[in-house]
Amino acid sequence: MTPTIIVHGGAKTITDDKVAANNAGCTAAVEAGWAVLISGGTAAEAVEAAIRVLEADQTFNASLGATLNSDGEVELDAAIMEGSLSWGAVAAVQGIRHPISIARQIMDDKPRLLVARGAERFAADNGAEMCKKEDLIAEEQLEQWKEDQKVIDRPNTVGCVALDASGILAAGTSTGGTTKQQQGRVGDTALVGCGLYADNKIGGCSTTGDGESIIPVVLAKTAIDFLSGDRHPDEAAQMAIDALASKVKGEAGCILIDRQGRVGWAYNSSHMACAYMTVGQDKVAAFTQK
């Protein structure tokens, strides 16, 4: 199989002053995941490594840099899924620096979704990088929350899809949700079939956008289904976004890798920050719109 990895930093409006930061962050995430793949690591390990980079970058709405909820706090959701249909997820957690890593630990234990205090207890018991919940509040997001500013350049999710040399696919997602969301809200990110999906026989997908629009159309699974008949991931991704737009209102985007290692993406927002790498490229391809 051809090792391949693609990440997104979110379907959103990217202002001119944030283009470089979005490209740099997505590039760094791909480089981290690619280093895992070319050293013989698994797709799940690559997805975790890539998303950890995005979670630590204040450019993106995941962990440090996440939007603040109605109470002015950071609440995080994350999930990961392997193409063998193994999965793990957390939602509405606080004080966890890398929720994607906890989602992976859950996946390796047994498939389930853990939320709030129960997820935090699991994280602490399993050696997670814990912190005070206030430590994840970035100054820019705090000022916007206090001043009730319209938030620009805050995607709803970051994500990654990877294919390893053994032909195993994995997809992952991580988010801080939506600005001033009700405390306890859970969007699409932690929901298999909505925010992410992976099937070794077909492909892998990670989505981004308005969770309340993505959930009812089961966007990630819809995109995977459109890969049938050897359809190119670019076409499948666009068909999935078109299907969403025909049924509900809202912005969304998705990234795909099929079992051959071909990549594709589509979105109906102004921009979507992405980057990818596969065998034969001499450097990461990064872009803020196609």
* pLDDT at 288 (0 to 100): 83
For the ranges 59-68, 75-84, 85-94, the lowest mean pLDDT is seen at 59-68
State pTM to two decimals. 0.95
DSSP annotation string for 223-235 = HHHTTGGG--HHH
The residue-averaged pLDDT of 249-274 equals 95
* pLDDT at 152 (0 to 100): 56
Helix (H, G, I), strand (E, B) or coil at 216: helix
Q: Which residues are catalytic?
A: 157
Q: 4-287 is classed in which CATH architecture?
A: 4-Layer Sandwich (3.60)
**CA 269, 101, 261, 85 torsion: positive or negative?**
negative
Percent of the chain whose predicted confidence (pLDDT) is above 70: 97
The average confidence (pLDDT) of the chain is 94
Exposed/middle/buried for residue 182 (C-beta within 10 Å: 0-12, 13-18, 19+): exposed
Answer whether residue 155 shows pLDDT above 60.
no
The residue-averaged pLDDT of 92-104 equals 98
The conformation of residue 169, written as its DSSP 8-state character, comes to: E
Answer whether residue 150 shows pLDDT above 70.
no
Domain boundaries, the chain: 4-287
For the ranges 32-46, 226-240, 274-288, the lowest mean pLDDT is seen at 274-288
* pLDDT at 107 (0 to 100): 98
Of the two residues 79 and 140, the one the predictor is more confident about is 79
Answer whether residue 183 shows pLDDT above 90.
yes
Count Cβ neighbours within 10 Å for each residue of 193-221 and write b for 16 or more, e otherwise: bbbbbbbbebbbbbbbbbbebbbebbbbb
pLDDT single digits (tens) 208-222: 999 999 999 999 999
* pLDDT at 111 (0 to 100): 95
The residue-averaged pLDDT of 49-62 equals 96
The residue-averaged pLDDT of 103-110 equals 97
At 149, the pLDDT band (50, 70, 90 cuts) reads low
Which residues contact residue 264 at a Cβ distance below 8 angstroms, ignoring those fewer than 6 apart? 232, 233, 234, 235, 236, 237, 255, 256, 257, 258
Q: Are 88 and 198 in contact (CB under 8 A)?
A: no
**Using alpha carbons only, what angle is made at residue 266 by residues 69 and 26, rounded to the nearest 5 degrees?**
60
Strands 285-287 and 271-278: antiparallel
Helix runs in the chain, H state only? 19-38, 43-55, 99-109, 116-125, 139-146, 211-217, 219-225, 233-247
Answer whether residue 154 shows pLDDT above 60.
no
Q: Are 102 and 80 in contact (CB under 8 A)?
A: no
Which residues contact residue 173 at a Cβ distance below 8 angstroms, ignoring those fewer than 6 apart? 51, 77, 78, 79, 80, 157, 158, 159, 189, 190, 195, 196, 206, 207, 208
Task: Tell me the chain's radius of gyration from C-alpha atoms.
Answer: 17
d(CA 122, CA 102): 8
Of 22, 115, 51, the residue nearest 77 (C-alpha): 115
Q: Are 282 and 34 in contact (CB under 8 A)?
A: no
pLDDT single digits (tens) 184-194: 999 999 999 99
d(CA 47, CA 45): 6
